[in-house]
Amino acid sequence: MSYRIVRFDGSMLKLLPQPQEEFDIIGRLVPRYDGKEWSVSEELLDIPYEKTYPDDVFDPAMYVDNPNEAAFIAMLDSRRVGSIRLGRRWNRNAFIDDLTVDKAHRGRGVGTMLMDSAVNWGRGNGYHGISLETQDNNLLACRFYLKYGFKLGGIDCRSYDAFPNRRETALYFYLLP
């Protein structure tokens, strides 16, 4: 299979947003802070399960011809199989709003290709680095970000308090020069 990554433009408005697909919850990333830097370990579940988040609600047109926002689409032939959305933040970092790869195409390098496009966009626009937020129980995503070179920069154990069924901690990752 030959995947290609394309910059999202006005001719692709029907490709975003896409319904959220389930992802595997196999454990959680456990952060530890020693007062200077973060370290992590993993806790694996005895019985993994699948989870799905609510669909994203956003206007895809905000990523068209916008110097402060970008989206990239992973294509296989004429079909969208993944996407990444990001934008400029106050701290001169590009912030990744969302990275998705269709379940049937995970583990094939599509996420890395999308991340490469996002990083190149950020660097090309003179941003200091790239940042993102994910959840401690999304261990497969955490592993991906760490393998890519991101470092844990902080946590927020109150982000999801309004959702009593979500026992998650927000993890903030950074890819800095």
pLDDT tens track for 3-36 = 999 999 999 999 999 999 999 999 999 999 999 9
Q: What is the value of pTM for the model shown? A: 0.95
Report whether pLDDT(163) > 90: no
Q: Do the strands 170-175 and 129-135 form a parallel or antiparallel pair, or are they unpaired?
A: antiparallel
| Tens digit of each residue's pLDDT (9 = 90 or more) over 69-79 | 999 999 999 99
Over residues 43-63, mean pLDDT = 94
Which percentage of the chain shows pLDDT scores above 90? 92
Q: How far lies 146's CA from each of 127, 140, 142, in Å? A: 20, 10, 6
pLDDT of residue 166: 79
Q: Which residue do the tokens 């497969």 mark? A: 140
153 pLDDT more than 90 = yes
CA pair distance 75, 115, nearest whole angstrom: 14
Per the listing, tokens 């990523």 go with 63
For 84-130, how does the pLDDT look when each residue is reduced to its tens digit (9 = 90+)? 999 999 999 999 999 999 999 999 999 999 999 999 999 999 999 99
**Phi and psi dihedrals of 57, rounded to 5?**
-115, 110
Q: Is 1's pLDDT higher than 80?
A: no
Give the pLDDT band (50/70/90) at residue 44: very high
